[in-house]
Amino acid sequence: MAEETIFSKIIRQEIPTPLLYQDDLVTAFRDISPKAPIHILIIPNKLIATTNDVVEDDELTLGRMITVAKKLAFEEGISDDGYRLIMNCNSHGGQEVYHIHMHLLGGKRLGPMLSV
């Protein structure tokens, strides 16, 4: 059983972070340390530690994460210019918080996808 992270407390609003979106499956809020003018995290309400832990039953939730990303990109006015969706996994992927999340980044022309 994965250990809860700060994201579970944000979902339950035990840490009162302003939410941009929440439904029965996913929650979205602004990244505390933005790497672009728009930097939003979209996370499943269910604790899934890494993308390695995803199972078939999660497919609806994972799809919802993308439709919510699309909706928020539109609301933030970055749909037409474009944006980037990123999910990091484990240490080589640069994952810091072990509750999967999709980064929605935009608001300027982003740099190369990877700096290795």
Q: Binders of ligand AMP among 72-111, rule CB under 6 A?
A: 88, 94-97
Is-contact 10 17, C-beta < 8 A? yes
Of 39, 92, 99, 101, which is the active-site residue?
A: 101
Strands 102-106 and 38-44: antiparallel
Size of the site for ligand AMP (CB under 6 A): 11
Residue 47: Cβ within 10 Å count: 18
Binding to ligand AMP in span 1-30, by CB under 6 A: 6, 17
What's the first-to-final CA gap in the chain, in angstroms? 33
Place of tokens 């269910």: 46
Q: How far is the CB of 91 from ligand AMP (least distance, A)?
A: 10
What's the closest the beta carbon of residue 19 comes to ligand AMP, in angstroms? Answer: 11
CB of 104 to ligand AMP, least distance (A): 11
Per CB under 6 A, the list member of 33, 52, 91, 115 interacting with ligand AMP is 33
Residue 99 catalytic?
A: no
CB 99 within 8 A of CB 7: yes
Tokens of 24: 């029965």
- Which residues bind to ligand AMP, rule: CB under 6 A? 6, 17, 31-33, 41, 88, 94-97
Active-site amino acid positions: 101
